[in-house]
Structure 1
């Protein structure tokens, strides 16, 4: 007889809905291969209400309706914390909007679930950047699984690669291009486009947020770098420990001067045991980082036994983000 695994979802934005669609598409395969039925008992949003049924919600129709209307049919009043504290679920999926400067309230949601002995998957990088050590210890104390693959580079298996296939390798440094928005802006500047025009066009295309400051000033890249260093190198740092410089002062002239010297400007992230920074950096055009274009991103991991490994994600969309959450759910299914 198959077992039921109940999940609760906090946040129902693009990433959560992409996950929901993959889950619905693979529901039968999960049942056949893992003898497990995934039951969604609750979904809570910040502005569109909530849905809750301990016996299970019909996720497919809910997702379809939300895509069409941007809302739930017959929502109830339930806060995220109420679901965390009182809801019936086995796995909490934390996909609420990011507060990059505090990691809250997502971190408190996760702590509450872990203290109840619930497994947690987060798509929110804030908790990993600000509270990773505490959350990791809390999960261990309560015999819970705690996964976070989607927090950096969408569904690209960065954390899973290291944790599952590079056993007993020590990561000595991390480098990369982790913010796709700034990568896009720098490329458009090189074409001679006006900065304000780039912003307007990028917002229309969905590449740039309504408020791009978190990207342009390097906060997003710093949070991702912090998450990588905390998980892969046990750094125990916060984004405040990153030496951060954004691209807001980079001009077309700067880019042309770099080009004259066969170089290109990229927002580079670097971390090792001695330092961690995010800053615009001149790189040779022959360097791998110079060829990370558009909305692509890359992380380079240097290890003691396997040397340097480069992982590139080419122009991702929401499917990759949803898959990152989904693969973490499968890891929970496999381990319990």
Structure 2
């Protein structure tokens, strides 16, 4: 990178991207003074909000205000463009792509193509989209290494909680043998509501009201989001090549209040568990509802909290808990990857 500048092309401008921009506004001067890099967003490709390219740096305060007021970028601004996302990536002259588009659970596209295009253009990549890690991690990793570029993805599982960095930097010499986690906020919240006596339908409505669930919560309820996270963890931590469709998956739509009461009789709660393990010398993944005893740490993971237990050959089991994250924690994962990138330059 020249002149110690990082020029960002931001793909996707949803809640996480907007919060990251707020964080960057607050932290930009600090990063410049402490790390010696001037961070600018020079391009944004928003699926429904429009596109912007400005080599001098986009006025993020104005962009955030425009989106808040009208739901899209100012079409009369001189730096507004009508290009498609791939055109913006190819023409923006940025040196870092931050991929925050929506997850496609079936194939990880178009995020994978966005990342490949960025690598072809000599750009480092940070992704908060778990699709590329769940579907094509090894190829993207190898591509970045061949080109001498960084490929970072901490935000893809458990928001800003340092899962991948923890294993990479804090567990040197350890081999991950298996993992188990509660990784989907919506299903955890719904099951907790049902434990309190609310019906499945009312629990879904409450999750939507609080913003935990999408208008169509199928990806969460049927276990697809959890399967994508399981695949991502398997691909990175256990060096395999698996995708969400290959995960043994069962969601929670069949769980009834009667099931919840049966679990209580046995001093248990029902939790949607993600697992990665080796069986018959083959790495496998599973997502399924499980009875968890009240004495187990996993039973106390409430509301939108998450937990991941990682079992290694040398360190045994290590557990990491994220307590009721907000959108700021997701944005922090992106910001932490940005700081990690700076360390390597």
Question: What's the TM-score, normalizing by structure 1?
Answer: 0.97
Residue 50 of structure 1 corresponds to 51
8 Å Cα contact 2:25/2:60 also seen in 1? yes
Give, in whole Å, the separation in 2 of the partners of 1:60 and 1:334: 27
Matched, 1:211 2:216: yes
The whole-number CA distance in structure 2 between the counterparts of 1:79 and 1:56 is: 20
CA distance in 1, matches of 2:268, 2:28: 49
**Residue in 2 that maps onto 1:131:** 136
Task: State the partner residue of 1:27.
Answer: 28
The residue that corresponds to 1:191 in the other structure is: 196
Aligned partner (choices 97, 103, 107) of residue 112 of structure 2: 107
Number of the residue aligned with 1:72: 73
Which structure 2 segments of 5+ residues have no match? none
Q: Deviations over 1:189-221 (max 9, x none)?
A: 111212222222221110111111100000000
Q: How many angstroms apart in 1 are the aligned matches of 2:309 and 2:303?
A: 18
Question: Alpha-carbon deviation of 1:60?
Answer: 2.5
Segments of structure 1 that go 5 or more residues without pairing to the other structure are none
* 1:248 paired to 2:249: no
Equivalent in the alignment of 2:325: 316
Q: Give the SS at the match of 2:81.
A: coil
Task: Report SS of the residue matched to 2:272.
Answer: strand
Structure 1 match to 2:291 = 282
SS at match of 1:229: helix
Bigger shift: 81-90 or 212-221? 81-90
State the secondary structure of the residue aligned to 1:27. Answer: helix
Alignment partner of 1:271 out of 263, 272, 276: 276
Q: Which residue of 2 aligns with 1:169?
A: 174
2-structure distance, mates of 1:323, 1:115: 27
Taking the aligned partners of 1:254 and 1:134, their CA distance within structure 2 comes to: 42
Paired position in structure 2 for 1:300: 309
Q: Is the alpha carbon distance of 1:246 and 1:132 closer, same or farther for their aligned partners in structure 2, counting shifts above 3 Å?
A: same
Cα distance in 1 for partners of 2:207, 2:273 equals 21
Q: Does 1:90 align with 2:91?
A: no
Higher alpha-carbon deviation: 83-92 or 174-183: 83-92
CA drift at 1:333: 1.3
Question: CA shift at 1:101, angstroms?
Answer: 1.5
State the Cα distance separating 1:2 from its structure 2 match. 6.0
Between the two proteins, the alignment pairs up a number of residues equal to: 336
Query: 1:157 is matched with which residue: 149, 162, 185?
Result: 162
- Displaced runs of 4+ in structure 1, greater than 4 A? none
Do 1:115 and 1:138's aligned partners in 2 also have CA atoms closer than 8 Å?
A: no
| 2:340 alignment counterpart | 331
* In structure 1, distance between residues paired with 2:94 and 2:87: 12
Task: Check whether the contact 1:8–1:93 (CA below 8 A) recurs between aligned residues.
Answer: yes
Q: What corresponds to 2:187 in structure 1?
A: 182
**Contact kept? 2:194, 2:200, Cα under 8 Å:** yes
| CA–CA separation in structure 2 for the residues paired with 1:120 and 1:39 | 15
Is the 8 Å Cα contact of residues 48 and 72 (structure 2) preserved in structure 1? no
Q: Deviations over 1:107-159 (max 9, x none)?
A: 10001111222100001000000000110000001100000011001001101
Structure 2 SS opposite 1:93 = strand
Deviation at 1:39, TM superposition (A): 1.5
Q: C-alpha separation between the residues in 1 aligned to 2:197 and 2:30?
A: 50
Deviates more, 1:193-202 or 1:313-322: 193-202
Give the CA deviation at 1:43: 0.4
